[in-house]
């Protein structure tokens, strides 16, 4: 047990390179980072973000010397309590994303902070993939995937982390670094750790000489198994360094730190097909799986009736799901091949097997990825979806067991009966049936002794069923964690567990690495330290804190992520409800003002990777709304601006004119210095990308009459802002848009009194919902009139504004410029593509409107060399945050400039004026509306 003295001694020996920006002792960030996807909670006393191996080495040596427990955390998608600590938490994420490609992509070296799906993006040009495929691949990081030996529908035991790991850079508890691919490093380790190597070889020989134990190990690992430490390497490898490398797989941070892993990759199979089978009950479905095991399937996922129920009504799911009988169970089947011919042959072989089965509905394969991608995406989101259906106040728990194929039908049926026995009426069984690996989900209360006892009894009966009756795996892929630590010896037996204990003692003699995980002396640890989930806000109450949202949260790793905002708000709510710890409550509310509120862009991209579509931006808007009630000083300012909007625009133009004059007189360098200093004192940031003032003069636009008409509403931003001083284009966007429309033969209609008009986004972002809706209603009336009651399409030139308009205005055909050009203008224009490399940026609103591919398609019409930078989502400008909190904008775009530079790009294009200011500031090149590019690359098509 650690003490405050341990922590103090550890801190005193901290590497001086770890600054305050990477060391957190405040309760807000300790609570935020201490939360993972599991159902346990511990709050660390110290959170660290080391940046390199040297810092990790020093930290571990200090921890070892001061007997201070440490726990490693990557993405925090762990489900079994592996990534939580009440001592020191070491986070390796955004600072650990480097990689090196070898042998034309056949092998790759990866730091632990790279997201799994990102590895596949890196390997795509080589036609290779990273074979471990957990359902959390789009969120989980490489370190967690390997250290937990996480797997999914296709990799099974043949292509999991243990099978593909070639070498590793490892930092031991005493701070020693070992590179198992480097002969010099191995020689040095042999010299300093000779007893370590000798003990390891003795353990290897002891296991091999014990045939009963060796056979048991082979039998246990013939199916998925991550219970306890991975002791298969003692049989699979002779070389001690190979054994060390592979002992780390599945060790859950209890043995050493994985600083880098070199793995082999697999060739990508491009020909795929899937089918959905509906069978009468779960037992019969498992019998069908036993038959399918002998066919060329690459994946078979089972979804019981409750799992199907959790996705009823979701996009892409068939309408007949609600009519299926109570016991019906689905099998989602996949087969892959290298050629079309091979795929068709495999489909025929599988269908021959299926024809012998009694299906509830006719079954057939589809090669349409639009169809089967929806199926597989829904399968990946079952756990959060089921969690979202839970009764308020309950916690969602997930376990994953595995059975040998010959036992599958009987064992699974008995598992279902156990859940029924303990009255878990909303429980779900689903998972990787082809590997005999099933997850079961229960929604559990822990607010009474009776409920805790019910859960305890269920788990003990599950342990008996899996280990005693069927000799299966209590944990197949989620890691042992805290919830199965008391039962490791029960599953493996004393001899095998003794070997695991010896390995732990060898690697971590002082038990400082993730204590309590895998090895825990408390037999009740699985019913302790449950995470509270109080009802907080209807927009986020369904969140189970899985972390899937974080890959799309632009402040994740900077201030708070979308998940962490929910965590903190829940704790604030809990403390208020219980009238508990007023000092902690005060600190959380104080810390949240900047970390949670001020730096949240409210862009909503978090919802795009959340299986339940939770938009944490709504929570942020509600928090802001609560701080600006109707009649308050802030609300009155907002209301005044709404009522005098034309005057506000005039004032803005005056400010822009003055700033541009100063910029011209004193130069960019001096202007930038002065404005940066002013920003440090709290003033909004001005940059050289700021535009000159602009006002639309309709009489000068020379609009020609035509039978084809379009209503054009220039956003208030583009009514007031022109181009910046050094822009390669000096024509304001409104003029350029009008000219493009007329080039295509359209008469342009402007709404009346548009100087007063706004979509309402400005007020919505501040939580002033009533004012926002009022402005939207004013705009709707003007557009309704201008479009002759919806007769003509309406275009808005600012994608964030158009997004709100589409949400609120339903009786008018509304278009974003890219969408309108692709829909109405492509056949009226002649495209003349340029060879110049260009970059494009998809705004968050375009992504939410499903226009990303449309933007890419239009850009490719205009240029033969288009870059959509990777890992650049929302730019973080967020209306005015690029002025008020420019650090958010900088962080969001930190990966943009290197890609721009590497590809020799001189111009970028997007579809939001404010976003373009931030993009220009942080990329080193000018960003403009895509309309400029389309106008440059097109001429009017001749009519014959």
pLDDT 10s digits, 42-52: 999 999 999 99
- How would residue 166 be classed by pLDDT, with cut points 50, 70 and 90? very high
3-state helix, strand, coil split of the chain in percent (to 5) is: 45, 15, 40
d(CA 166, CA 832): 50
Q: What percent of the chain has pLDDT over 90?
A: 78
- How do beta strands 721-724 and 691-693 pair? antiparallel
pLDDT per residue over 402-432, tens digit each? Answer: 999 999 999 999 999 999 999 998 899 999 9
- Among 138-152, 390-404, 614-628, 909-923, which is the least confidently predicted range? 390-404
**Candidate from 190-199, 624-633, 866-875 with smallest mean pLDDT:** 624-633
* pLDDT value at residue 696: 87
CATH class of 104-267: alpha beta
Neighbours of 318 (CB within 10 A): 14
Mean pLDDT of the region 122-130: 96
Go through 334-367 and write b for each residue having 16 or more CB atoms within 10 A of its CB, e for each that does not: bbbbeeeeebeebbeebeeebeebeeeeebebee
At 268 the pLDDT is 94
Per-residue pLDDT at 677? 77
Mean pLDDT, residues 636-657 taken together: 85
pLDDT category of residue 642 using cuts at 50, 70 and 90 = confident
Question: What pLDDT, on a 0 to 100 scale, did the predictor assign at position 1?
Answer: 46
Per residue in 796-828, pLDDT (tens digit) is 999 999 999 999 999 999 999 999 999 999 999
Q: Which residues of 869-878 are buried (b: 16+ CB within 10 A; e: fewer)?
A: beebbbbbbb
Share of the chain above pLDDT 70, in %: 99
CA angle 682, 685, 689 (to 5 degrees): 180
Strand order in the sheet with 271-279: 271-279, 329-337, 299-303, 428-432, 437-444, 395-402
**N residues, the chain:** 944
As a whole number, mean pLDDT of residues 726-735 equals 89
Sorting pLDDT into bands at 50, 70 and 90, what band is 433?
very high
Q: Which band of pLDDT confidence, cut at 50, 70 and 90, is reported for residue 770?
A: very high
- Say how far residue 76 (Cα) sits from the centre of its chain: 11
CA gap 384, 542 in Å, rounded:
9
pLDDT score at 49:
97
pTM (two decimals): 0.93
From 321-335, 659-673, 841-855, the region with the lowest mean pLDDT? 659-673
pLDDT above 90: residue 733: yes
Could you identify the residue written with the tokens 């050094």?
726
Which position has the higher pLDDT, 366 or 387? 366
Assign 271 a pLDDT band (cuts: 50, 70, 90): very high
- pLDDT in the model for residue 631: 87
What residues form DSSP beta bridges with 24?
A: 47
pLDDT beyond 60 at 2: no
Could you read off the pLDDT of 658-699 as tens digits, one per residue?
877 777 778 777 767 777 877 787 777 778 778 888 888 888
Contact 794, 813 (CB under 8 A): yes
Instruction: Determine which helix (DSSP H) or strand (DSSP E) holds 500, and give its type and residue range.
Output: helix 494-507
DSSP state of 823: I
Looking at 293-424, list the stretches that DSSP marks H as alpha helix, in order from N- to C-terminal side: 305-310, 340-354, 369-380, 382-388, 408-421
How confident is the model at residue 4, as a pLDDT?
Answer: 75
CATH architecture of the region 271-478:
3-Layer(aba) Sandwich (3.40)
Q: Of the spans 107-116, 363-372, 723-732, which averages the highest pLDDT?
A: 107-116
Which parts of 561-713 fold into alpha helices (H)? Answer: 562-578, 582-592, 616-627, 633-643, 645-680
Q: How confident is the model at residue 943 (pLDDT cuts 50, 70, 90)?
A: low
Running DSSP on this structure, what letter comes out for residue 532?
Answer: P
CA distances from 840 to 869, 872, 900 (A): 8, 11, 10
Name residues whose C-beta falls within 8 Å of residue 702's C-beta, 6 or more positions apart in sequence.
none
Q: For CATH 3.40.462.10, list the domain ranges present in the chain.
A: 271-478
For residues 162 and 233, give the distance between their C-alpha atoms in angstroms, rounded to a whole number.
9
Q: What are the backbone angles phi and psi of residue 783, rounded to the nearest 5°?
A: -70, -35
235 exposure class (CB count in 10 Å sphere: 0-12, 13-18, 19+): middle
Tell me, what's the pLDDT at 944? 53
Residue 488: is its pLDDT beyond 90? yes
Q: Could you tell me how far CA 321 lies from the centroid of its own chain? A: 29
**What is the residue-wise DSSP string for 6-46?**
HHHHHHHT--TTS-GGGEE-SHHHHHHHT--SSSB----SE
| Residue 498: Cβ-neighbour burial (10 angstroms; 0-12, 13-18, 19+) | middle
Model pLDDT, residue 537: 95
From CA 810, how far away is CA 649, in angstroms rounded? Answer: 27
| SS3 category, 382 | helix
| 682-684-686 Cα angle (round to 5) | 130
Please list the residue range(s) of the chain that carry CATH number 3.30.465.10. Answer: 104-267
Q: What is the pLDDT of residue 3?
A: 67
Containing 238, the helix (H) or strand (E) segment is none
Sign, CA torsion 232/235/237/239: positive
């Amino acid at each position: 047990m650690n003490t405050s003295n341990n922590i103090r001694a550890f801190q005193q020996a901290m590497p001086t390179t770890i600054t305050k920006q990477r060391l957190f002792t405040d309760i807000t960030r300790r609570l935020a980072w201490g939360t993972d996807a599991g159902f346990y909670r511990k709050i660390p006393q110290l959170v660290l973000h080391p940046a390199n191996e040297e810092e990790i080495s020093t930290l571990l040596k200090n921890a070892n010397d001061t007997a201070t427990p440490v726990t490693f955390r990557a993405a925090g998608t762990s489900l079994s309590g592996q990534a939580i600590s009440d001592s020191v938490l070491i986070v390796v994420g955004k600072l650990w994303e480097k990689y090196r490609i070898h042998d034309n992509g056949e092998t790759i070296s990866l730091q632990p902070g790279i997201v799994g799906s990102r590895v596949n993006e890196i390997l795509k040009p080589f036609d290779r993939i990273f074979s471990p495929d957990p359902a959390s691949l789009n969120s989980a990081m490489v370190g967690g995937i390997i250290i937990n030996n996480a797997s999914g529908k296709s990799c099974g035991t043949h292509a999991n982390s243990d099978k593909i790991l070639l070498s590793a850079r490892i930092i031991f508890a005493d701070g020693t670094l070992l590179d198992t691919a480097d002969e010099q490093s191995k020689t040095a380790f042999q010299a300093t750790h000779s007893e370590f190597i000798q003990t390891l070889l003795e353990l290897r020989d002891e296991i091999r000489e014990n045939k009963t134990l060796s056979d048991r190990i082979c039998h246990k690992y013939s199916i998925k198994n991550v219970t306890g430490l991975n002791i298969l390497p003692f049989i699979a490898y002779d070389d001690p360094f190979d054994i060390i490398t592979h002992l780390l797989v599945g060790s859950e941070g209890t043995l050493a730190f994985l600083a880098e892993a070199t793995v082999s990759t697999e060739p990508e199979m491009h020909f795929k097909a899937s089918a959905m089978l509906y069978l009468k009950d779960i037992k019969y479905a498992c019998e069908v799986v036993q038959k399918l095991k002998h066919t060329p399937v690459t994946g078979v996922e089972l979804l019981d009736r409750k799992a199907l129920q959790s996705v009823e009504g979701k996009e892409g799911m068939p309408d007949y799901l609600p009519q299926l009988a109570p016991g019906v169970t689905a099998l989602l089947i996949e087969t892959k091949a290298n050629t079309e011919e091979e795929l068709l042959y495999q489909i025929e072989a599988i269908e021959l097997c299926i024809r012998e089965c009694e299906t509830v509905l006719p079954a057939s394969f589809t090669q349409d990825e639009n169809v089967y991608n929806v199926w597989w995406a829904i399968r990946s989101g079952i756990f959060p979806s089921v969690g979202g259906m839970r009764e308020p106040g309950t916690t969602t728990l997930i376990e994953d067991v595995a059975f040998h194929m010959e036992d599958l039908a009987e064992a699974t049926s008995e598992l279902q009966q156990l859940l029924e026995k303990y009255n878990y009426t909303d429980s779900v069984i689903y998972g990787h049936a082809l590997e005999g690996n099933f997850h079961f989900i229960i929604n559990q209360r822990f607010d009474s002794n009776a409920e805790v006892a019910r859960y305890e009894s269920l788990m003990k009966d599950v342990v008996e069923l899996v280990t005693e009756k069927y000799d299966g795996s209590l944990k197949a892929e989620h890691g042992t964690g805290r919830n199965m630590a008391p039962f490791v010896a029960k599953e493996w037996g004393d001899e095998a567990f003794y070997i695991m204990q010896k390995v732990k003692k060898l690697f971590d003699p002082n038990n400082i690495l993730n204590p309590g995980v895998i090895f825990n002396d408390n037999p009740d640890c699985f019913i302790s330290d449950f995470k509270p989930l109080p009802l907080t806000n209807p927009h986020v109450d369904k969140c189970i804190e899985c972390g899937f949202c974080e890959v799309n949260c632009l402040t994740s790793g900077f201030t708070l992520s979308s998940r962490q905002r929910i965590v903190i708000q829940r704790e604030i709510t809990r403390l208020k409800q219980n009238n508990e710890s007023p000092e902690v409550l005060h600190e959380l509310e104080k810390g949240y003002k900047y970390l949670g509120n001020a730096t949240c862009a409210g862009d909503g991209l978090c919802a795009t990777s959340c299986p339940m579509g939770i938009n944490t931006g709504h929570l942020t808007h509600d928090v802001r709304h609560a701080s600006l009630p109707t009649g308050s000083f802030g609300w009155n300012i907002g209301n005044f601006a709404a009522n005098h909007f034309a005057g506000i625009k005039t004032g803005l133009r005056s400010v822009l004119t003055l700033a541009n004059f100063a910029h011209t007189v004193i130069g960019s360098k001096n202007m930038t210095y002065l404005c940066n200093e002013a920003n440090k004192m709290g003033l909004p940031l001005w940059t050289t990308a700021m535009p000159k003032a602009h006002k639309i003069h309709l009489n000068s636009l020379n609009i020609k009459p035509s039978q084809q008409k379009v209503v054009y509403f220039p956003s208030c931003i583009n009514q007031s802002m022109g181009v910046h001083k050094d822009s390669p284009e000096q024509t304001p966007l409104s003029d350029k848009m009008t000219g493009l429309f007329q080039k295509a033969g359209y008469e342009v209609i402007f709404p009346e009194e548009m100087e007063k008009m706004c979509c309402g986004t400005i007020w919505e972002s501040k939580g002033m919902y009533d004012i926002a809706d009022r402005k939207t209603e004013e705009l709707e009336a003007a557009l309704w009139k201008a479009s002759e009651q919806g007769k003509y399409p309406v275009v808005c030139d600012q994608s964030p504004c158009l997004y709100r308009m589409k949400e609120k205005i339903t009786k008018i055909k509304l278009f974003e410029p890219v969408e309108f050009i692709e829909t109405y203008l492509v056949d009226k224009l002649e495209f003349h593509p340029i060879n110049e490399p260009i970059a494009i940026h998809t705004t968050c609103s375009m992504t939410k409107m499903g226009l990303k591919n449309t933007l890419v398609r239009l850009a490719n019409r205009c240029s033969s060399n288009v870059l959509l930078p990777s890992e650049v989502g929302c730019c973080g400008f967020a209306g005015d945050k690029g002025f008020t909190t420019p650090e958010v904008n900088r962080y969001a775009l930190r990966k943009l400039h290197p890609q721009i530079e590497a590809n020799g790009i001189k111009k970028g294009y997007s579809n939001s004026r404010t976003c373009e200011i931030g993009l220009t500031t942080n990329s080193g090149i000018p960003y403009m509306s895509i309309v400029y590019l389309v106008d440059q690359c097109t001429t009017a098509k001749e009519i014959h």
